[in-house]
Amino acid sequence: MEEQQESPISGVKPTVTSSRTVPPGQSLIAERRRSKPDIVLRSEVPRISSGPAEITTPVSATFRPRSDSLISIEHPILELPIEESLLSPETKDPHPDSLGPTHDEVGNRPIEAPLTKTPTIELPSLISTIPVKPLPEIVNEPQATISAADKETWDRTLPRVIRGIVSIRATTVRPFDTETAGDYTATGFVIDAKRGLILSNRHVVSPAPITAVGIFFNYEEVKLAPIYRDPVHDFGIFRYDPADLKHITATEIPLRPDLARVGLDIKVVGNDAGEKLSILGSTLARLDRPAPVYGSDMYNDFNTFYFQAASGTSGGSSGSPVLNVQGEAIALNAGGSRSSQSSFYLPLDRVVRAVDLIKQGKHVPRGTLQTEFFHQSYDELKRLGMSDENMMACRQRNSEATGLLTVRMVLKGGPAASPQPTNAANNTEEDPNIPIKGLEPSDILLTCNGKYITNFIGLWEIIDDSVDKEITLEVYRAKVLRKCTLKVQDLHSITPDRFLHFGGAIFHDASYQECRWYNEAIGNGTFCASSGFMMWNSYSRDFLVTKVDGKPTPNLEVFMQVIKEIPDYKRIQCMTRGLGKSDDQLLMVDMDWHFYPSSLFVRDDDNGVWRREDISPPAAVEDVKALAPPPRDGETDSAIDVESVPSSPQTPETEAPTTAPQELSPQVESADEDADEEEEEEEEDTPLDVAIEELRCSMAYVRCFLPHTIYGHTSNQSYSGVGLILAVDPIPLVFFDRTCIPTDMVDIRLTIANKNIAGRIVYMGDFVLLTFDKALLPEGSKILIPEWDPKPLKVRESVKIFGLTSDQLLSTKETTISSIGTNSNTWACNPPRHRLINTENISIAEGASCWGGVIVRMEQLKSVKKGENVKVAAWMMTVSSQSSGTDSYWTQGIDLHRYVLPIVREIEEKKLARYDHSTWDLGFEFSDAALPTVSAMGLSQKRFNDFVKQAKKIRGVARPLIVETRMQPPKTTLTEEEEAKGLKVGDILLEIDGKPIYKVAQLTEFNFEGRETASVLVLRNSQELLLNVPIVKSWPNTGDRVIQIFGAIVHASHAAAIEQVAKTARNVPLDSEGLYISGVSYGSPALDKMRPTFWILSIDDHPVSTIDDVLQLARERKWAQGEYVRIKQVNRVGITSIASVKVDDRFWPLYQWRMSHETGKWKMTKETGLQYNSELSDNGMKRFKDKAVPSPSASSGTV
């Protein structure tokens, strides 16, 4: 049976990084019915499990023989009604597709059989092997057959109780424990109208920080403050201000767990499927169902029974009351099955205790032995070794009890964990007269503190009232009654209530919920609920950080003390371990104090908020010094020459390499990797070996990380690639393509000479030029500038590609040039991002096994002499685009002489720290067309011959340029006559300023800066037309300022976004920087409201067009916490919309990031929410400025 937890109705969920997918072969069973996507998990049938041992749950199958009497057949697997008509005397085995657990396609895990069919089974043979007993027939009659008196009672009850039903809309603002960030809806109901208390599920109230509002039946909205959530059981309590209700009197729904019984007619009233109010009827069928299992890394209830009925609830009904005909709540809706109509309800016995204490203003004590108990029937107990005499005594003491509690799992290191014996021969626990020191799986619990225990309620009445006290248990172990004295631990002490937001990651103490599933001892590491930016290359979430910079971090307190001493940008070692894993893994981490705020949050249940304390970075040190601009005229850097770079002595501040430095030996394709090292040392390298080694020394590897989704590039992937060193003095310059360094807002890690060092961007256009601090290289490092081959490449010429892997190994590939001059066609991406256009492509027949490298003529390699260098003809770069919405990547050659070296020379001549030169062009993307096609369009014979002649020079095929895409929409609407005066899509480009154009590479020969128009000759409608085409300034493709407002990442418009604006869109800002929404954070107020790829036009009816406008407006308006702000936005086709966004400066204040062009570093500034900077003391203990207000009408606040 597929089980599902009643969860709030689905909102937009993250990718976090972490998607919760079910691996192939695992059955899809339980779901929580909040509004988040239904979470599918596991069944209670026997299954293979890497977690705690699974025990098959005994359930019953009902048979109706010919006598029409009902017989209950107890069976540990089946729960299937089998009618007489389906019993086949000819068949002894049930149908394989309808009875019992089956296996999935890969045969890994058993899955529950569908319940749509009933099996054929031989009744006599089955009855002969399974004990049977007659039971009274219980029929779940349809609603139409309910008596008229009862119907009239429901008619009177429902109008009254729906005034106490509350539809809940909530947002989890940060990942925490088992929860992820995102929106959801659910249900609650009023249990105390005077105090404003609402009961719902724990997974609705959530252990994570949330913002929530409640909507009553008349659509009145109130703020909800989560003030209690049980550490284990699925219930929690909200508080609202009763004074906020102006037009309705809320109805209190009493809690009556004592009235639950099998056969009771019930109704579940709530926000089922997000429908605001749904009323689902059923009959209570079972009171002793095991708690549903929702899966690993999820919240799971245990140590309690659940009720079950076929009410068919779905997402959004979490927290709905299960009502009897008098309108009293006998249970709390929590979960259900996806494969049937079964729903699961939490009994209210322990809920009543917690509610009574909260009403009195008292703390709710909760105890734990870190042990999971499981209720097993007497027949199963007999298999575990319980004698008939003991079972008879138990039945006589309580004739209604059907079994006892057994130990299912004991968490390592917990109060009930048995110590490991030091000497098996001297193990005194073999003596039945000596008390045992701990519990073990399969122990059968008989008494607690002298009280006979038959269910969970009786046991936890004692444990919850015995926190920090000792209790004595009597258990049957190996057919012997043994005593065990244990000290009860405070359950709240192993339930985290604070977290650290650092480097975009979420850290807190490991919780009982997470550790229980993997049998992981609590206190073995700091739990990471979301890897974020800093820990991005580890697990996505749900892992332990055991060491940081060589120091153990068993809990959050120690973790914070360690990181407070580590400066920004420093590269350190971290040891991490996935939950349930036995071995740690090494992770290299760059400390981040610049892209994300560092804040400690502590939960304040008195006020229902999370208090915040910002953590300042340590004092700046010279661990990673700023990259200074190159020396000016008259200044020299005597430590560097073109051949090699002697480095300064290594100091403790020097960054540690990712791997231990290793000496690199020359590599050629024919080298024998298994040759003896001594023989290689004695053998003298050939001139070719030396030349190839020098090529390798001219290449570098880069890896960079994005903190946010920005300029169309996502932050959930790594960016890496190979580059070429083009200059060393006066400033080192390394060439990379845009696929490995997509934007300016990145942390860059260069690998040169087996050393990891920081890099800084000097130029970003269709490619990227980086620089670095040469003094950070190890002593004796060798970096070389390659020599350039002045002879142009030709088609069919044999070449060899030398690339570099991430391990600094040389990759080679012999191939040929297949074409030159064909324009590299890329396609507009969604979201819009930079793409390579109007650039000549050097195509190769077969690509190398790397994503970048030098292209060298084979004829050079055959004639290399001693002392000669191999000359580089071109560079093989990586290009990215999208195809059918999927990212695609390929390699192509680029002419460094034409596109790259001119900019390098200008940077060297002007000694620029940053090259931000604007480009001016015709404003169109050009593609190429087949010459026969262009000839049919009216191309003259003379021009036809000229195209053929030019193509023969490079052994290529003539392909004239055709106008394909306008790169910028016109700022005003053009008439048809005005459009005809400029370039139009489909025009064939023939000449620019009187110079014939045969290939796209010729576009680099024109300097349009400062000009208003250019003379362009085109072929249109079989006629040659001379046009005066206006020159346009290209939009930037990156930027140096970014803000986060209400959780949305906003920056100025970039070229890729402007390119996709419809020419009829008049509202998109084209005459200013613009405010482009690049991404929206999960759990933020902007989620589902402010749309990525939209532009902000106004805020609260104040027009804004620049980042400075937003900052100035925020300073003037000083929006209050919880205030709604109206955002007017427009999309790429000019359609405007209004978003109403709630201010949450505690979690989502206004941030600004600015990049220094001198150092290349980014600085973050907090612009709003400063009042929440210091709500805690230095040690993280509570130091709340506003005390808990006892008056129920006082504002309770929200997170």
What's the CATH number where 933 sits? Answer: 2.30.42.10
Give the count of beta carbons closer than 10 Å to the beta carbon of residue 884: 6
Asked if 633 and 744 sit in the same domain, the reply is yes
**DSSP, res 176:** B
What is the average pLDDT across 973-980? 84
Asked if 708 and 834 sit in the same domain, the reply is yes
Give pLDDT tens digits for 1019-1035.
999 999 999 999 999 99
What is the average pLDDT across 378-392? 90
Q: Which residues contact 1192 (CB under 8 A, 6 or more apart)?
A: 194, 195, 196, 241, 242
Give pLDDT tens digits for 875-918.
999 999 988 888 889 999 999 999 999 999 999 998 888 988 78
Per-residue model confidence (pLDDT) at position 550: 93
Q: Looking at the domain assignment, is residue 220 inside a domain?
A: no
Residue 1110 to residue 1042: CA distance in whole angstroms: 11
The answer to whether 110 and 102 have CB atoms below 8 angstroms apart is: yes
Asked if the model's pLDDT at residue 55 lies above 70, the reply is no
Helix (H, G, I), strand (E, B) or coil at 791: coil
Asked if 746 and 803 sit in the same domain, the reply is yes
Domain boundary among 876, 911, 946: 911
Per-residue model confidence (pLDDT) at position 620: 61
Per-residue model confidence (pLDDT) at position 423: 53
What is the average pLDDT across 147-164? 81
- Burial-class residue 1101 by CB neighbours within 10 Å (0-12, 13-18, 19+): exposed
Judged by average pLDDT, the poorest of 5-9, 140-144, 340-344, 1109-1113 is: 140-144
Residue 711 to residue 714: CA distance in whole angstroms: 9
Helix (H, G, I), strand (E, B) or coil at 763: strand
Asked if the model's pLDDT at residue 475 lies above 50, the reply is yes
Residue 1063 to residue 1052: CA distance in whole angstroms: 20
Domain boundary among 560, 592, 614: 614
Per-residue model confidence (pLDDT) at position 865: 82
Asked if 572 and 632 sit in the same domain, the reply is no
Q: Looking at the domain assignment, is residue 250 inside a domain?
A: no
Give the rounded percent of residues in the chain with a pLDDT score beyond 90.
58
Q: Looking at the domain assignment, is residue 724 inside a domain?
A: yes
pLDDT interval class at 432 (50, 70, 90): confident
Per-residue model confidence (pLDDT) at position 70: 33
Give pLDDT tens digits for 1145-1167.
999 999 999 999 888 899 999 99
Asked if 1050 and 997 sit in the same domain, the reply is no
More confident site: 16 or 823: 823
Per-residue model confidence (pLDDT) at position 726: 93
Asked if the model's pLDDT at residue 688 lies above 50, the reply is yes
Per-residue model confidence (pLDDT) at position 1072: 87
Give pLDDT tens digits for 929-967.
999 999 999 999 999 999 999 999 888 889 999 999 999
Q: Looking at the domain assignment, is residue 465 inside a domain?
A: yes
Asked if 513 and 641 sit in the same domain, the reply is no
**DSSP, res 7:** E
Q: Looking at the domain assignment, is residue 136 inside a domain?
A: no
Q: Looking at the domain assignment, is residue 332 inside a domain?
A: no
Q: Which range of residues forms the domain containing residue 768?
A: 627-660+683-911
What's the CATH number where 801 sits? Answer: 2.40.10.120
Asked if the model's pLDDT at residue 304 lies above 60, the reply is yes
More confident site: 280 or 825: 280
Asked if 552 and 462 sit in the same domain, the reply is no
Structural domain tally of the chain? 5
Give pLDDT tens digits for 1050-1067.
999 999 999 999 988 888
What is the average pLDDT across 165-179? 95
Residue 407 to residue 552: CA distance in whole angstroms: 33
Asked if the model's pLDDT at residue 645 lies above 50, the reply is no
Per-residue model confidence (pLDDT) at position 950: 92
More confident site: 59 or 364: 364
What is the C-alpha R_g of the chain? Answer: 36
What is the average pLDDT across 761-790? 88
Mean pLDDT of the chain: 81
Per-residue model confidence (pLDDT) at position 114: 41
Asked if 1001 and 1092 sit in the same domain, the reply is no
Asked if 1015 and 1070 sit in the same domain, the reply is no
Per-residue model confidence (pLDDT) at position 117: 41
pLDDT interval class at 514 (50, 70, 90): very high
Per-residue model confidence (pLDDT) at position 148: 57
Per-residue model confidence (pLDDT) at position 127: 40
pLDDT interval class at 851 (50, 70, 90): confident
Long-range pairs for 1001-1005: beta carbons < 8 A, 24 or more residues apart: 1001/821, 1001/840, 1001/895, 1001/898, 1003/838, 1003/921, 1003/926, 1004/898, 1004/899
Asked if 715 and 850 sit in the same domain, the reply is yes
Q: Looking at the domain assignment, is residue 564 inside a domain?
A: yes
Asked if 907 and 925 sit in the same domain, the reply is no
Total-model pTM: 0.80
Asked if the model's pLDDT at residue 129 lies above 80, the reply is no
**What sign does the CA torsion over 477, 487, 554, 614 have?**
positive
Q: Looking at the domain assignment, is residue 472 inside a domain?
A: yes
What are the DSSP E strand ranges found in 900-1034?
920-921, 924-928, 961-966, 988-992, 995-996, 1013-1020, 1023-1030, 1032-1033
Asked if 384 and 483 sit in the same domain, the reply is yes
Per-residue model confidence (pLDDT) at position 150: 60
